[in-house]
Amino acid sequence: MTRIKICGLSQEAHVEAAVEAGADAVGFVFYAKSARFVTPQRARVLARLLPPFVTPVGLFVNATDAELQAGLEALPNMLVQFHGDETPADCDRTERPYLRAAAVTPGFDLVDFGSRFSNAQAILLDAPVEGYGGGGKVFDWSLVPPNVSSRLVLSGGLSAANVADGIARVRPWAVDVSSGVEVSKGIKSADLIHQFCRAVRRADAELTR
Ligand SMILES: O=C(O)c1ccccc1N[C@@H]1O[C@H](COP(=O)(O)O)[C@@H](O)[C@H]1O
């Protein structure tokens, strides 16, 4: 079963929609330059709506120790997503479970990346975009080698229309979406969140037939 993360939430209604739709994780963007930025205090309010077994994820881009600490104080049970230029040592700073994002370009060596970030719970594959992420761009899925030992989260330009294809080709542990469930940059749609989660479930059902 492919796990689902809905990222970049800033409104109560969309956190509720993600939970109702069956998302396994919801992401809060602690990167001030993002259109989806929320303060740790706001994320804390939103995360109170989460039931057990739905994981809050805090997304950081080249954060300072103080920024990381503020996020962790607001959401002590969060999974950390490093989506910038962080080194393995940067990611190990918090001693917390984390996802490490990688921009996939021709020549990208996923095996080497996975062994450098061996403490990551999963490697999150994204397209190279300006502003580090959340660009709604799909990368070339054929660049992902088969049978990599790292757990993979597929992201980058996913939507209800293409997520089944992505799952069939990459066979990721989880998928992550932001732009593809928005009506405009930073504005989520409960309807699109539901459509996305239904498309993932259909894709899983198709693969087990
Ligand atoms: O969402 C953002 O604004 C963002 C900013 C900086 C780094 C990452 C960001 N989001 C992550 O980018 C990927 C792909 O998103 P999209 O579906 O293509 O819009 C996803 O992992 C988001 O969590």
Nearest residue to 18 via CA among 205, 192, 201: 192
Q: Which pLDDT value is given to residue 147?
A: 85
To test the pocket of ligand 1, the residue of 59, 139, 185 to mutate (highest count of ligand atoms within 8 Å of its CB) is 59
Place of tokens 């230029």: 85
Encode pLDDT of 54-106 as tens digits.
999 999 999 999 999 999 999 999 999 999 999 999 999 999 999 999 999 99
Per-residue pLDDT for 44 more than 90?
Answer: yes
Look up the CATH number of the domain holding residue 106: 3.20.20.70
Q: Which helix (H) or strand (E) holds 28?
A: strand 25-29
What are the CA-CA distances from residue 89 to residues 82, 94, 136, 202 (Å)? 12, 10, 29, 39
Q: Which pLDDT value is given to residue 131?
A: 86
The ipTM value here is 0.98
∠ CA 140-142-148, rounded to 5°: 120
Distance 209 CA to ligand 1 centre (A): 32
pTM: 0.97
Question: Which is the closest atom of ligand 1 to the Cα of 83?
Answer: 7
Query: Does residue 136's CB lie within 6 angstroms of at least one atom of ligand 1?
Result: yes
Query: Does residue 29's CB lie within 6 angstroms of at least one atom of ligand 1?
Result: yes
DSSP-derived secondary structure for 44-57: HHHHTTPPTT-EEE
Distance 189 CA to ligand 1 centre (A): 16
Rounded to whole angstroms, the Cα distance separating 126 from 118 reads 18
Question: Which is the closest atom of ligand 1 to the Cα of 136?
Answer: 18
Residue 19, domain extent? 3-207
Total of domains in the chain: 1
Query: Does residue 86's CB lie within 6 angstroms of at least one atom of ligand 1?
Result: no
Record the tokens describing residue 169, joined without a space: 């080709």
For ligand 1, atom 8: residue with the closest CA: 133
Rounded to whole angstroms, the Cα distance separating 131 from 146 reads 29
Give the distance, in angstroms, between the CA of residue 158 and the centroid of all CA atoms in the same chain.
Answer: 11
Record the tokens describing residue 138, joined without a space: 């799909």
For ligand 1, atom 15: residue with the closest CA: 134
Question: Which is the closest atom of ligand 1 to the Cα of 124?
Answer: 21
Distance 146 CA to ligand 1 centre (A): 24
Rounded to whole angstroms, the Cα distance separating 209 from 197 reads 19
- pLDDT-derived band at 194 (thresholds 50, 70, 90) equals very high
Distance 178 CA to ligand 1 centre (A): 6
Encode pLDDT of 115-167 as tens digits.
999 999 999 999 999 989 999 999 999 999 988 888 999 999 999 999 999 99
Per-residue pLDDT for 209 more than 90?
Answer: no
Q: Are 55 and 85 in contact (CB under 8 A)?
A: no
Query: Does residue 157's CB lie within 6 angstroms of at least one atom of ligand 1?
Result: yes
**Taking the CA of residue 83 as centre, how many other CA atoms within 13 Å lie in the half-sphere pointing to its CB?**
33
* Overall residue count recorded for the chain in this entry: 209
